[in-house]
């Protein structure tokens, strides 16, 4: 019988350039589209005995994928607030690694458990326990990623020398896009004739962005993937987890708030705690659209769905003088999902935000398309600059099994974060911006398709008077009121 590696054309453990070894156990909580996509990559790049890999997930979906990857310890046991210690504590000790890719499983609780047991931790977004987002007794501020991140970061403030590394929000976005942003800043610096070597500190990165005149950073994504089986009525279709997308899309729209902004949007609220680098709107992300641009997609309307990088990247690029912020860019997601997902969102909103009974994640039925995902730096005198990944479905299938273009971009972010954590095992709780971007991108680049840097002359004012005159801030096109679709 052919081995797993021969079946999928993968390189044997121990022979890959970016290979690292995990001596302990790997515990994966959640095994949806991203979990199934990343497991073959883990087997390729991380030397770990498959008999020491445990998958704990809500149902049997993916059991055949786990078996094909040599993993037999597959437990269809939902992890809940009531049973998580009983289910996970016996599996964790120093040297082990817990990867949380589940929906409705608290990141904060699992980070604390891993710290207690001496295990490494990584998630692709900060999750609360089930019911958190629909709890009417909670203030809207407590449903934001800002609030959730504050809870996660607070675990680092409890004394614990040599605290095991816990990597927050490291998929593709949030995750790899923060490393894309650093590379994009260096590219723009080169265009300006500045030294494009990597800055040595957080403050140096922030001052570089300030010198370059960057007023806004959009995480600009346009998903062109097309299915042979179109969406049906009563069905939510997406290229990655339906439940995770609906959960984050139902949170308040959220963005890092730049120091250049002069107009607070209607319904906007600030935070009373923390660095106060972000605001939120009292409306869901899938009901909030913004203008943005990608090289292939051109000008488009995307959803302002809350994401961790909107908060962490804005805070990271803040320049403080005399105890106050003198520079910070506005940072937000601008997501244009695939056409079937767009129709699904429209139907979901029309149903009063009641999720459709049918749910489908596209993978094998995709017939063509690219996921164009990167960061758009706005405000430099030379124009906008987009840098990111352009991954075609055919390339995604060639590079790794069980993936489409969207899941592979996310899966390789998880892989790169795991490699970095294994190599840096005592860093405590870290945001993506605090990691070594060079090392992370070294692991990720082979799976990201074409890496593109492109200049454009787009602004959110273009074409706005074609049909009706609008009340715009024409003195500064990068005011958020010009970007927000009213």
CATH number of the domain where residue 296 is located: 3.30.360.30
Residue 201 phi/psi, 5° resolution?
-150, 165
Please state the rounded mean pLDDT for residues 43-63.
Answer: 96
Band of the pLDDT at 1, cuts 50, 70, 90? very low
Distance between CA atoms of 183 and 204, rounded to whole angstroms?
14
Q: pLDDT tens digit string along 356-375? A: 999 999 999 999 999 999 99
pLDDT at 267 over 80: yes
Please indicate, yes or no, whether residues 161 and 211 belong to a single structural domain of this protein.
Answer: no
* Residue 378: HSE in the Cβ half-sphere, 13 Å Cα cutoff: 30
Distance between CA atoms of 253 and 307, rounded to whole angstroms?
9
Q: pLDDT tens digit string along 112-122? A: 999 999 999 99
Please check whether residue 90 lies inside any domain of the structure.
yes
Number of separate domains in the chain: 2
pLDDT at 476 over 60: yes
Q: Which of 207-216, 234-243, 299-308, 458-467 has the lowest mean pLDDT?
A: 458-467
Please check whether residue 435 lies inside any domain of the structure.
no
Please indicate, yes or no, whether residues 283 and 357 belong to a single structural domain of this protein.
Answer: yes
Whole-model pTM? Answer: 0.95
How much is the mean pLDDT over the chain? 94
Give the pLDDT score at 45. 97
Please indicate, yes or no, whether residues 209 and 92 belong to a single structural domain of this protein.
Answer: no
Domain boundary among the residues 143, 167, 191 is at 167
pLDDT at 421 over 60: yes
Q: Which domain holds residue 68?
A: 4-167
Please indicate, yes or no, whether residues 319 and 236 belong to a single structural domain of this protein.
Answer: yes
Please indicate, yes or no, whether residues 366 and 480 belong to a single structural domain of this protein.
Answer: yes
Please indicate, yes or no, whether residues 160 and 195 belong to a single structural domain of this protein.
Answer: no
Give the pLDDT score at 203. 97
Please indicate, yes or no, whether residues 139 and 193 belong to a single structural domain of this protein.
Answer: no
Please state the rounded mean pLDDT for residues 191-217.
Answer: 96
Element (H, E) at 399: helix 393-399
Please check whether residue 414 lies inside any domain of the structure.
no
Give the pLDDT score at 468. 76
Please check whether residue 67 lies inside any domain of the structure.
yes
Please check whether residue 139 lies inside any domain of the structure.
yes
Please indicate, yes or no, whether residues 72 and 189 belong to a single structural domain of this protein.
Answer: no
Please indicate, yes or no, whether residues 212 and 231 belong to a single structural domain of this protein.
Answer: yes
Element (H, E) at 114: helix 107-117
Q: Taking Cα atoms as reference points, which of 165, 168, 24, 166 lies closest to residue 94?
A: 24
Own/partner pairs for 273-276, CB < 8 Å, 24+ apart? 273/150, 274/146, 274/150, 275/315, 275/318
Please check whether residue 400 lies inside any domain of the structure.
yes
pLDDT at 351 over 90: yes
Q: At what angle do helices 176-191 and 308-316 cross, to 10 degrees?
A: 40
Please state the rounded mean pLDDT for residues 429-456.
Answer: 98
Please check whether residue 428 lies inside any domain of the structure.
no
Domain boundary among the residues 115, 139, 167 is at 167
Band of the pLDDT at 161, cuts 50, 70, 90? low
Share of the chain above pLDDT 70, in %: 95
Please state the rounded mean pLDDT for residues 173-182.
Answer: 98
Share of the chain above pLDDT 90, in %: 87
Give the pLDDT score at 465. 79
Please state the rounded mean pLDDT for residues 84-99.
Answer: 98
Task: State whether residue 194 is helix, strand or coil.
Answer: coil
Domain boundary among the residues 126, 141, 167 is at 167
Residue spans of alpha helices (H) in 138-219: 145-154, 176-191, 202-211
Q: Which 8-state DSSP code applies to residue 171?
A: B
Please indicate, yes or no, whether residues 213 and 304 belong to a single structural domain of this protein.
Answer: yes
Please check whether residue 419 lies inside any domain of the structure.
no
Give the CATH number, domain containing residue 121.
Answer: 3.40.50.720
Please indicate, yes or no, whether residues 225 and 128 belong to a single structural domain of this protein.
Answer: no
Give the pLDDT score at 14. 40
pLDDT at 43 over 70: yes
Please indicate, yes or no, whether residues 258 and 391 belong to a single structural domain of this protein.
Answer: yes
Q: Which of 155-169, 254-268, 429-443 has the lowest mean pLDDT?
A: 155-169
């Amino acid at each position: 019988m052919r081995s797993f590696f021969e079946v999928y054309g993968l390189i044997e453990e121990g022979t890959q350039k970016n290979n690292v070894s995990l001596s302990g156990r790997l515990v994966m909580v959640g095994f949806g589209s991203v979990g199934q996509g990343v497991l073959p990559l883990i087997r390729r790049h991380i030397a770990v005995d498959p008999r020491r890999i445990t998958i704990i997930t809500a149902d049997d979906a993916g059991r055949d994928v786990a078996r094909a990857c040599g993993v037999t310890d597959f437990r269809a046991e939902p992890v809940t607030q009531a049973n998580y210690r009983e289910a996970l504590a016996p599996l964790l000790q120093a040297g082990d690694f817990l990867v949380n890719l589940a929906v409705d499983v608290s990141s904060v609780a699992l980070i604390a458990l891993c710290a207690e047991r001496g295990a490494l931790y990584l998630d692709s977004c900060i999750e609360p326990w089930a019911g958190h987002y629909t709890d009417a007794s909670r203030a809207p501020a407590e449903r934001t990623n800002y609030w959730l991140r504050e809870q996660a970061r607070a675990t680092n403030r409890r004394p614990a020398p040599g605290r095991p590394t816990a990597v927050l929000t490291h998929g593709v976005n949030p995750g790899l896009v923060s490393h894309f942003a650093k590379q994009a800043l260096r590219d723009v610096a080169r265009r300006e004739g500045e030294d494009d070597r990597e800055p040595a500190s957080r403050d140096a990165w922030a001052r570089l962005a300030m010198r370059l005149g960057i007023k806004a950073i959009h995480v600009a994504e346009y998903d062109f993937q097309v299915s042979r089986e179109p969406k049906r009525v009563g069905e939510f279709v997406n290229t990655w987890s339906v439940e995770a997308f609906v959960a984050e899309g139902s949170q308040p729209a959220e963005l890092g708030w730049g120091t250049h902004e002069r107009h607070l949007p209607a319904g906007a609220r600030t935070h009373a705690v923390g660095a106060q680098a972000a605001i939120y709107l009292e409306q869901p992300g899938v009901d909030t659209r913004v203008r943005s641009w990608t090289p292939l997609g051109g000008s488009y309307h995307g959803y302002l769905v809350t994401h961790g990088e909107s908060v962490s990247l804005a805070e990271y690029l803040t320049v403080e003088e005399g105890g106050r912020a003198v520079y910070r860019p506005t940072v937000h997601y601008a997501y244009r999902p695939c056409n079937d997902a767009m129709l699904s969102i429209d139907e979901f909103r029309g149903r009063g935000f009641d999720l459709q009974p049918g749910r489908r994640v596209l993978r094998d039925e995709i017939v063509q398309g690219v996921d164009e995902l990167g960061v758009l730096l706005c405000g430099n005198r030379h124009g906008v600059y987009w840098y990111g990944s352009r991954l075609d479905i055919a390339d995604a299938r060639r590079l790794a099994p069980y993936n489409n273009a969207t899941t592979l971009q996310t899966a390789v972010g998880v892989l790169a974060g795991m490699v970095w954590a294994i190599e840096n095992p005592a860093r405590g709780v870290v945001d993506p911006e605090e990691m070594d971007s060079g090392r992370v991108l070294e692991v990720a680049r082979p799976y990201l398709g074409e890496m593109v840097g492109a200049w454009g002359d787009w602004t959110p004012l273009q074409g706005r008077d074609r049909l009706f005159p609008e009340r715009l801030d024409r003195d500064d096109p990068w005011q958020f009121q010009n970007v927000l679709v009213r």
